[in-house]
Amino acid sequence: MSIRVLVVDDSAFMRKVITQMINAEPDLTVVDTARNGEDALKKLATLAVDVVTLDVEMPVMDGLTALKGIMERHGLPVIMLSSLTKRSSQVTMKALSLGAIDFVAKPAGSISLRIEDVSDEVTAKIRTAAKAKVQKLRPSSPPRSDTAATLGPVRPTAASSGDVGLHKHGSSRVVVAVGSSTGGPKAVEEVLLHLPVNLPAVVLVTQHMPAGFTRSFAERLHGVSPLNVKEAQDGDWLRDGCAFIAPGDYHMVVGPDKRIQLNQEPPLQFLRPAVDITMKSLPKVFGSRIVGVVLTGMGRDGAAGMAAIKACGGHTIAQDKATSTIYSMPRVVFENGHADYVLPIQRVAEGIIRLVNSLV
């Protein structure tokens, strides 16, 4: 059965091109198009739709307002279409935090000049979105989880006074490595929102996201998290209470001097940045003082990295199936036997705090 798609864009040309690329796939069908958010909500009231592609910038009713309506009334998977401007990237990050599954960056200039590249990305993300778990409302209580081990009650604990958690140049002795993909921006935000400002560790986040969007992602997280969050730059010192986001199109590793190194070595499993590359750089620097975390996402990136963390005596957390938008990356970690704890997203921050405090 074909995946049924509603295409929402204020440009008639864009609606036509996107419709053509979707209908060219035998398993995808555009059931209708809408010229703005208001039009989309009217049509969704009567249409049977599996996935919505939604333009960020539209008149009458913009993408964010439309997204809120779609999530509240229908709980459908939504893919945002965003231009490579700072404003659009900021709005896209907000959309992901509201529950959009993913986004596609529109090429600059005429989309017809890069139709094949855009088509591959759009259709692949529609297929992924159709498998995603979407809820109209947040659950009133954390969902139950099949747990590899029971973490027990966890409470944030203030870091000890003095130089606990500090090393040469004030760099961190403990590192938390977080990896995520589809559904990750919202999950990462949930985690960082609940980590304390005095966390005696540095946090490294590798989220599958293209260049041009990771800075807005970092800025948004900095605005909501107690931590000092920034897009990583080559040479950044690792410091407690800070979180660094891997820049789009760059692998992020940690050198022996506990400074961030960025590189554009070949993609791993078509991914750059790759979670595995970041995680596998950590044992030589931090030994067993590592907490690895794999959140929602498609594929298996992070599986090798979590294995390396386990092999050196570090601790690992995987997001559970019940709260994962796409339960693929954490599932592989769990099935490989490399998840010490499998937790709902609402408890991941608590788990990190407990494990970090056991290492300092």
The residues annotated with a catalytic role in the active site are: 181, 208, 301
231 three-state secondary structure? strand
- β-pair type (251-254, 260-263): antiparallel
Give which of 254, 258, 276, 279 is closest to 266, Cα–Cα: 276
**329 exposed, middle or buried (CB, 10 Å; 0-12, 13-18, 19+)?**
buried
**209 exposed, middle or buried (CB, 10 Å; 0-12, 13-18, 19+)?**
buried
Distances (CA, A) of 54 to 31, 43, 81, 358: 14, 13, 6, 45
Gap between the Cα atoms of 158 and 163, Å rounded: 13
Tell me how far the alpha carbon of residue 98 is from its chain's centroid.
13
Residue at token pair 């498998």: 131
Angle at 16 between CA 10 and CA 19, to 5 degrees: 105
E strand residue ranges, the chain: 3-8, 28-34, 51-55, 78-82, 102-105, 175-180, 202-207, 228-231, 242-245, 251-254, 260-263, 290-294, 315-319, 341-343
Sign of the alpha-carbon torsion through 162, 168, 203, 90: positive
> Contact, 346 vs 141, CB < 8 A?
no
Give which of 215, 267, 276, 221 is closest to 246, Cα–Cα: 215
Residue at token pair 């390396």: 308
